[in-house]
Amino acid sequence: MPKTNTTSADTRVNLATLASELEALPADYAQFEMDSFIDGDTYRNSEAIKQYLLTNGGVASCGTSACAVGHGPSAGLFFKADEIGIDLGDDELLPDWSKYVRRVFGVAAFSDDFNFMFGGNWHDYDNTVHGAAARIRYYLARGVPEAYRAYDSSIYQEYLIDA
């Protein structure tokens, strides 16, 4: 029996919004990588990352390699100003992804819920935008499956959209 998720109605809407955003991307969408929220090179320009996170920079897609969570701003799920600004020095800002994930998606970073939907280990098993969307849809319908650590894509196969 799957674990029951504990997300609120608002965060469930946000998860569904993100899944829809990911499903709308082409199967061969290159700006996707389960292994990192946003590619580290992006942080070299702190003003650019701040504008992306707060407004998505006016672009229709992420624009850089990002995981499912990293596409949240592209789906209109923007950062709050207090979630940006962990100063790395040298004019670099690091967004507080953990704070963002808890507020927007209702899950604690690196919890079982987070790892099933967004965990970086999926990089080695299903590093696709549609696979990430399918895991979110599965989670919304059934919670976290007991066997998720097997990284078996057949668990959420019924939620995959046609490529």
* Within a domain: 37: yes
Per the structure, the count of domains in the chain is 1
What pLDDT is attached to residue 1? 39
Closest CA to 50 of 14, 75, 80: 80
Q: Does the pLDDT of residue 90 top 80, yes or no?
A: no
* Within a domain: 1: no
Average pLDDT, the chain: 81
Long-range contacts of 1-5, Cβ-Cβ distance < 8 Å, separation of 24 or more: 1/146, 2/142, 2/143, 2/144, 2/145, 2/146, 3/112, 3/113, 3/143, 3/144, 3/145, 3/146, 4/143, 5/107, 5/113, 5/139, 5/140, 5/143, 5/144
* Within a domain: 96: yes
Full domain range(s) for residue 81: 9-159
* Within a domain: 18: yes
What pLDDT is attached to residue 14? 97
Q: Does the pLDDT of residue 27 top 80, yes or no?
A: yes
* Within a domain: 145: yes
Q: How confident is the model at residue 133 (pLDDT cuts 50, 70, 90)?
A: very high
